[in-house]
Chain A
Amino acid sequence: MKHKSFFWFVLPSAVAMILFIFLPIISVVVQSLHVEHQQVIKTVESCDLFGCRESTTIDQEATAARRAEKPLGQFAGLTTYLDRNHIAVGEVGEVWERTNTWRDFGAQMLNLPFYKAIGFTMTYTFVVTPLVIILGFIIAIAVNSALKALRGPLIFFSLLPMMITPLVGALILFWMVDARGIFGTMLQYLAGDPELSVKASTPLMWIMLMVYGVWHSAPFAFIVYYAGLQTVSQDTLEAARVDGANRWLQIRHVVIPHLLPLTTFIALMQLMDNFRVFEPIVSFSANAHATSLSWAIFNDLGGETRQLSSAAATSVLTIIGVAILLSPVLVRTWRDFDRK
């Protein structure tokens, strides 16, 4: 393509990306480098329906001039990134000094909010992503070998988990695993423990969240693989059959190599999606047991006092995390592209 036509071709999407992706990210980065001005606090008497008492309030006149001059707040550099509620450099150092074993060190690290969130986020990402790929592939193979007349309804039902709004889907599962729900009661029966409650146990809650993640995302992998299966060359398959390859060998040596580029695509999308796991934590009210980076951002913004800089710092850390996660896949794609 000529440079000029290429330019006009990508201009609309480039403008949209700058407006809706690049500029907001810049503003988030700028926000994360600032904190609020030093507040001037004065002691006052506050009176409500139930009587008067001594209390404090912000002296707005004293800070008005500073706010007007620098509406963003004071420049803080990386302080917000390094404080206890984020990377916690000082605290990690202390924990390192204080602990002797790796096990103890890990336990103490999980007490820091950022590492607690990262711990769950990473586990979730690396458990759910491969399971989604494997399960999606199996469903696709199964549906593809079903009778033609059955395929339509099968596809519809296989896609249902993805069609349901994540919050609602998670809520449905939440009530099913309740100690008095159908799964909860079944688990109690199977474990022989009438006290067993998924919602009260941290390991079971983690497993539940991951089961939800696989249930919700497997249809995505399925539909991509199913589309890919339609393009498998029938000639190659037939040649393999003539050579005496059984069904497994056909899948192993013909289908899987053919679908490999799709696997890269699904892995890429799933890594990104799973790294920002959020809805199930809210729906399962799981925040006592598991938090994620996205949940931390939501929590910062949802309190009575909004913590914008803290949320912005966590957002930037999430972006960096996604970039690191995707880098192997991206490097690989780039190399493939170069070779061509």
Chain B
Amino acid sequence: MFLKQIALASGLALMAGSAYADCQISGNVSIVGNEFPAIHTVAKGAASCTGGEVKSNLTADHQKINVAGMQGNPAEYSSAIIANSSVVALMNEDVIRPLDDLIAEHGQDIPKKQLIAIGGKIMAVAFMANAQTLAYRKDVLAEIGVDVPTTYEDVLAAAEKIRAAGISEYPVGGAYKAGWNLAEEFVNMYIGHGGEFFKAGSAEVAINNEQGVAALNMMKALTEYMNPDFLTHDSNATGAEMEAGNVMIMNMWGSRVGNLMDSEGAEKQVYSNITVGGPLTVGGGSIPASTLWWDGWTVAKNLSDEDAVATFLAMKNGISPAILNDETMSQAVWMIEGYTPAPVNDGVFAAIAAGTKSYPMLPYVGLLHTALGDNLSDFLLGKESAEQALADTEAAYTAAAKEKGFLR
């Protein structure tokens, strides 16, 4: 709530000045990043700078090209737009530079809270936030007479009632597609149970424990109420299931609920009743079973001073309050002064207020995520026990971590 009020207040204060600020650069800028509307807005803001060339390559495959594109000298991409999970891949390869000197000289006006500091060095500047929270059909919950769920146990109870009432056979949705999505759901559920992924300060994995088993059992219980094809459903597919009126409750990305609540792709009965709630807790815990995410930009290491300054200025312009207008305002939960949240963003703000943990920024967490995505589906398919699935994950991670030099 606190953040929301700040954003609201500063939003009103800055409503007047909406034209792109003057931005003069003397160097070339080349941006690589993911492809969705908010990133386009940032790239466009950066491109409004004059005095040098500003190019951008925005693609869903950005993670496959950003490391290679920044390893050369000079780097092909002078800035990569990344999230908290992917900034570590760039730091592991040592291809992005600390921004402290640039901020001291050119960026005193960037609010402190937007600066991502690792070990005292500022490595990225964040501009938007995201989290998975509850999305539900308020008409259906009213019909079966239950309150809005706040825990996964509530979700199971509500799902049973919806099924018993004959409203929907598979009322629960989830992005459980084997691979990245499934691993992300486990990460959420494991954090919700209070689990720690690694032994403190080391790369030794430690998920085959009580919390891990409890997390998997809760996931399995949820899948009983999901479309049997759940291992092929990513967040797009499960969103489509909700728009089709099959799914009534699900854990959904804040950045995607806007698509569910607009009038496109669904009947009025469906879209007008889709509502966003806070993040869910699980197993009596107080930490939400969700993770917070941010998107931000970085500056490549192998650049001339001239291009580094130009990149910094252009990217700073790309996330200045001036980029916000009627069209761009709803594209994301902007962490930029001047942002006015809409009801669709309630979930992400509730997640921040509830003390949701952010997705860990550890050098080896990507390897664990891959291992989780490859090994958990056997348990959900009923082919092996939870302990076996977790043991497989640990073994796969350990082999990969040895190859990457994290473990001996």
Contact = CB atoms under 8 A, between A and B. Distances in A.
Interface of A: 35-39, 41-51, 54-58, 60, 64, 73-74, 76, 79-80, 83-85, 91, 111, 113, 178-179, 195, 197, 199-200, 202, 284-289, 299, 301-307, 309-310
A85 B405 contact: no
B374 interface: yes
B109 interface: no
A60 B94 contact: yes
Contacts of A54: 201
Interface in B382-408: 384, 388, 392, 395-396, 398-400, 402-406, 408
A158 to B, nearest CB: 30
The 10 closest A-B pairs by CB, nearest first: A304-B366, A44-B119, A305-B366, A288-B178, A288-B377, A36-B405, A200-B228, A285-B232, A303-B370, A288-B231
Contacts of A288: 178, 231-232, 377, 380-381
B358 A41 contact: no
B178 A285 contact: yes
B119 A305 contact: no
A339 to B, nearest CB: 48
B381 A305 contact: no
Contact of A304 (B88, B292, B388, B408): B88
A39 B361 contact: no
Contacts of A45: 117, 119-120
Given A46-B117, A55-B360, A285-B231, A307 B400 contact: yes
B91 A195 contact: no
Contacts of B231: 199-200, 285, 288-289
21 contacts: A35-B403, A37-B405, A46-B118, A49-B335, A50-B129, A50-B292, A50-B352, A50-B358, A51-B358, A55-B361, A85-B396, A85-B400, A111-B378, A197-B228, A200-B231, A288-B232, A288-B380, A288-B381, A305-B92, A307-B367, A307-B404
Contacts of A56: 201-203, 362-363
A74 B405 CA distance: 9
B369 A303 contact: yes
Contact of B403 (A113, A304, A310): A310
By secondary structure, the A interface counts as: mixed
A54 to B, nearest CB: 8
B177 interface: yes
B85 interface: yes
A179 B244 CA distance: 14
**Residue in B178, B203, B399 whose Cβ sees the most chain A Cβ within 10 Å:** B399
B67 interface: yes
Contacts of A179: 227-229
A212 to B, nearest CB: 15
Interface string B167-200: 0000000000111100000000000000000000
Contacts of B67: 306
Interface in B341-367: 352, 356-358, 360-367
Assign chain B's interface to a size class. Answer: 35 or more
B114 interface: yes
Contact of B366 (A178, A195, A303): A303
B294 interface: yes
Contacts of B362: 55-56
Contacts of B398: 84
A204 to B, nearest CB: 11
B63 interface: yes
A51 B202 CA distance: 22
Given A41-B363, A303-B369, A47 B403 contact: no
Contacts of A55: 118, 360-362
Contact of B232 (A74, A85, A284, A305): A284
B303 interface: no
A56 B360 CA distance: 10
A153 B242 CA distance: 43
B299 to A, nearest CB: 16
A200 B229 contact: yes
Nearest to B198: A56
A200 B233 CA distance: 11
Given A55-B360, A303-B366, A304-B366, 9 more contacts: A41-B363, A44-B119, A49-B113, A84-B398, A303-B180, A304-B85, A305-B92, A305-B364, A307-B404
A47 B117 contact: yes
Contact of B201 (A35, A43, A197, A286): A43
B118 A83 contact: no
B403 A36 contact: yes
In the complex, which of the residues A42, A83, A288 has the most CB atoms of chain B within 10 Å of its own CB atom?
Answer: A288
Interface string B43-66: 000000000000000000001100
B116 interface: yes
A36 B404 contact: yes
Contacts of A287: 178-179, 374, 377
A303 B202 CA distance: 21
B249 interface: no
A306 B86 CA distance: 11
A73 B364 CA distance: 17
Given A55-B362, A60-B94, A301-B64, A41 B202 contact: yes
